[in-house]
Amino acid sequence: MEHGPNHVGLIPDGLRRWAQSNGTTLAGAYLRGAHKVIEILQTLQRHDVRTVTVYNLSRANLGRTPDELDAVYQASLTFLTTLIPTHFDATVCSLRLHGDRKALPDNYVAAAHDLEVAMTGDAFRINMLAAYDAYDELRDAHRRAQQDGCDIASAFEIGDVDLVIRTTPEPLLSGFLPLQSQYAQLRFLDTPLNDLTTAHIDDVIADYRGSPQLRGR
């Protein structure tokens, strides 16, 4: 059995349903979700995970209502400007935004850029996907491969994912890193993001470590 996982993908889903079932606002649900993502990141770091890629927004998500997008953006700004700097050591951790920055609000992009500059560690890497589309990523990798004269597989900025966790039971990846996730273990949770505890994540990691990692072999 391998130790791992080294790279975990997180799809924090189900916040609209959680808001409805708990009688709270979208803004309140997404803000609580931002705090829960921090808890998950800390738990994964404690388990010696090296990289976590968090799916914040797909390009398709940008078609949602202005009220919902505003709730996502406000929670994301709190995540970037307050929660990440408070809970993660910039000399140990790094953060990188991946996606179409031109499709995102200026203050969102500026907050992410500030962290990209300030956080210089390489022991724990956090990738955020926002306005992300797999076809865009493939086209960008193809351009880099042509410019650098390398194989396209080497031109992707995000490496292979070992484990993907989605916080709803629907068995969907919703466009999350399809090439990098081709051999990942997939876990679809019945417990909503905003009700997750560290014990839930501990159990997922333990299950992963108790399973053979064959990767097609």
| pLDDT one-digit tens code per residue, 148-177 | 999 999 999 999 999 999 999 999 999 999
- As beta bridge partners, residue 185 has 163
- Average pLDDT, integer, range 94-103: 98
The first and second tokens of residue 142, run together, are 């193809």
pTM listed for this prediction: 0.94
**CATH class name, domain 7-209:** alpha beta
Q: Per-residue pLDDT tens for 3-25?
A: 889 999 999 999 999 999 999 99
- Average pLDDT, integer, range 28-55: 98
Q: Which of 35-39, 63-67, 132-136, 212-216 has the lowest average pLDDT?
A: 212-216
The first and second tokens of residue 141, run together, are 């990798």
Is the separation of the CB atoms in 38 and 87 below 8 Å? yes
% of the chain at pLDDT higher than 90: 94
Whether the predicted pLDDT of 118 surpasses 50: yes
